[in-house]
Amino acid sequence: MYKKRGSRKTLLTYSTIIAVGLFFLNACTHPAYVLPDSQRTNDPEICFERDILPIFISNCAMSNCHSASKAEKGYVLDNYQNIMRKGIVPGNYAASAIYQSVSGGNGSGEDDEKMPQGLPPLNATQLDLLRRWIAAGAVDNGACTTSCDSNNFTYSSAIAPMMQTYCVGCHNTSSSPGGSLADYASVKASVTAGKLLGNIAHTPGFIAMPPTSFQLSSCEVAQVRKWIAAGAPNN
Ligand code: HEC
């Protein structure tokens, strides 16, 4: 009688341990919360093509990293559909491996290495844009308004920010393939060598830049054209 009660107690203890174990196992593998479609509110100040895609193009989609041809660790980060395939959890930036890796990594998974590898980290503005974009549902909200004015083509207000947004992720030092575009002297040297405009305008005979399907707007190309026509000054 006593023995039987004892074994029942043991059974109870074991089932409790198993139940608690299962609970934690389940807690660890519980899928990250994904914002339902209807709640993807979008952040009106952020436009995917204008604010988010250039961050990926210039910092991740290099031919030896997350391009269609290399797809390092299965990530192809060159357009919206590809970016959404892996590593972005709409509504939940903390659970998004891509956000984790560019914001320093939290060490919790194999997709969590610090990115971009071997390049300067994203700046605070870029991280903030990514965080807000994911939190609002990681939406591609179509046509973006732009503040581009083709009559504004000074180096400091038009050309330098354009290089920073679209080019410097890859062209950050003189040893980068294609050279640096990170400062006036480097950009001017590229122009003097007869390059830059043909590359961004996708003129036949030039290597199209950026080297993905993404192309700068006609307004941005016009700014570069006018700046070069004016002698590419450091103004
Ligand atoms: C994803 C990485 C990446 C981005 C972003 C990128 N480039 Fe390049 N660029 C390269 C690589 C790689 C080469 C070398 C290509 C080659 O030699 O085949 C290159 C070469 C060039 C060259 C030299 C071409 C030649 O004929 O020698 C120019 C000029 C250039 N890029 C301009 C730009 C400009 C302007 C931007 C921004 C609008 C830009 N690139 C954005 C990777 C990039």
Average of per-residue pLDDT across 94-121: 78
Cα 5 to averaged position of ligand 1 atoms, centre (Å)? 77
Q: Supply the DSSP symbol for 210.
A: S
Cα 209 to averaged position of ligand 1 atoms, centre (Å)? 5
Residue 222 shares a structural domain with residue 164:
yes
Distant-in-sequence, close-in-space partners of 35: CB < 8 Å, separation ≥ 6 = 90, 91, 92, 137
In a domain, 191, yes or no: yes
In 3D space, the residue among 186, 160, 168, 87 whose CA is nearest the CA of residue 130 turns out to be 87
Q: What is the largest CA-CA distance in the chain?
A: 102
Range of the domain at 125: 38-135
Q: Are the C-beta atoms of residues 214 and 230 closer than 8 Å to each other? A: no
Residue 53 shares a structural domain with residue 122:
yes
Residue 51 shares a structural domain with residue 129:
yes
pLDDT of 43-56, one tens digit each? 888 999 999 999 99
The response to whether residue 199 sits with its C-beta less than 6 Å from ligand 1 reads yes
In a domain, 89, yes or no: yes
User: What confidence category does residue 1 fall into, taking pLDDT thresholds of 50, 70 and 90?
Assistant: very low
Residue 104 shares a structural domain with residue 177:
no
Residue 45 shares a structural domain with residue 124:
yes
Average of per-residue pLDDT across 64-86: 88
Given a cut of 90, whether residue 135 has pLDDT beyond it is yes
Residue 124 shares a structural domain with residue 203:
no
Given a cut of 80, whether residue 15 has pLDDT beyond it is no
pLDDT-above-70 percentage for the chain: 84
Question: 151: which 2 tokens?
Answer: 């009559």
pLDDT for res 56: 92
pLDDT of 209-223, one tens digit each? 998 778 999 999 999
The response to whether residue 88 sits with its C-beta less than 6 Å from ligand 1 reads no
In a domain, 23, yes or no: no
In a domain, 199, yes or no: yes
Cα 211 to averaged position of ligand 1 atoms, centre (Å)? 7
pLDDT for res 29: 60
Cα 61 to averaged position of ligand 1 atoms, centre (Å)? 12
Average of per-residue pLDDT across 59-85: 87
The response to whether residue 159 sits with its C-beta less than 6 Å from ligand 1 reads no
Domain boundary among 135, 166, 194: 135
